[in-house]
Amino acid sequence: MRNRSRDSERLKNNRIMDQFSLEDKIAIVTGAGQGIGKAIALTFAKAGADLVIVDIDAVSANSTTQEIHDMGRDALALSVNACNKDQVDGMVRKTLKRFKRIDISVHNAGGGYPTKPILEMLEEDWDKSVTLNLKSAFLCCKSVGKIMAKQKRGSIVNMSSMAGFGPYPLGANYAAAKAGVKNLTENLAVELGPYNVRVNALAPGPVETPTIAEYYKEHPEMKEQRLRAIPLKRIAVPEDIANVALFLASDASGYVSGQTILINGALATFVTPELIAELGKRF
């Protein structure tokens, strides 16, 4: 009787874990050559997905693709500028030609770092950040969304940021673009909901990617400043973000749509006394 009860519990647990499986799903991940995008792609492959690895840098796209092949999953590497409509549409066409459908699309291409206060910001600084972070998400969502609407199924995951939820000193262009991604996500969730397509976003706080890790080596005081402000007392690694992406991509989040999930270790704000002091010396 006891063994039967254990077997029943084991089956129940297996069914719960099956909801996180991406077995034989087809997933596009942009910006997947390194950092967060690469971690998401590798996590999806471990969960059973076949991947389209998209990056503007062909070498890094091919490197991630090889790692996925080594794991026994299929992957297609594409060099794409996600800010270019024709290239994004080509990405979708090549995905359909190879895999026949698109189940998941993660729009991670983007980036930007605090550099200037608004009064010193150039018009090109603004345009570059909005294009890289918001326009790229719009183009990918539009091209992929049309396919998913026809399929009557799919999950889109955009990349917003904690910076889109409040002040991001010296990076208003990036913050405004990421706030735009959050709103784009909410609108698309409503417009695509009737077609059984879910749209959500991730909003990381500080993440120690390999690039940021090198920066912290040169500026250890910046890392200490971050750690003092994060209640969990550690800075996120790319896998922390990838695990939440897996949840949003999988059936485990089947009734979640229109949400932007903060992944920030309970960090309250990017505004620090040190930054306020620096801003006070600008003019």
* pLDDT at residue number 5: 61
Locate 221 and state its tokens. Answer: 């005081």
First to last CA, the chain: 78
* pLDDT at residue number 54: 98
For residue range 202-226, list pLDDT tens digits in order: 999 999 999 899 989 998 998 999 9
Neighbours of 36 (CB within 10 A): 27
**Helix H or strand E segment including 8:** helix 2-18
Q: Assess whether pLDDT exceeds 70 at residue 26.
A: yes
Burial (Cβ within 10 Å: 0-12, 13-18, ≥19) of residue 102? buried
User: What phi and psi, each to the nearest 5 degrees, are found at residue 128?
Assistant: -60, -45
For residue range 30-78, list pLDDT tens digits in order: 999 999 999 999 999 999 999 999 999 999 999 999 999 999 999 999 9
Confidence of residue 1 (pLDDT cuts 50, 70, 90): very low
Confidence of residue 282 (pLDDT cuts 50, 70, 90): confident
Sorted by where each starts, the structural domains of the chain and their CATH numbers stand as 23-279 (3.40.50.720)
Whether 105 contacts 156, CB under 8 Å: yes
| Residue tagged 């397509």 (tokens) | 197
Question: Residue type for 48, please?
Answer: G
- 216 catalytic, yes or no? no
Active-site annotation holder among 113, 174, 216, 255: 174
Across 106-120, average pLDDT: 90
Whether 195 contacts 183, CB under 8 Å: no
The residues near 77 (Cβ < 8 Å, ≥ 6 apart) are: 53, 55, 58, 61, 62, 64, 65
Confidence of residue 99 (pLDDT cuts 50, 70, 90): very high
Confidence of residue 8 (pLDDT cuts 50, 70, 90): low
Q: Assess whether pLDDT exceeds 80 at residue 6.
A: no
**Helix H or strand E segment including 183:** helix 172-192
User: DSSP letter at 236?
Assistant: B
* pLDDT at residue number 15: 76
Q: Assess whether pLDDT exceeds 90 at residue 13.
A: no
Q: Would you mind telling me the total number of residues written for the chain in this entry?
A: 283
Across 110-132, average pLDDT: 91
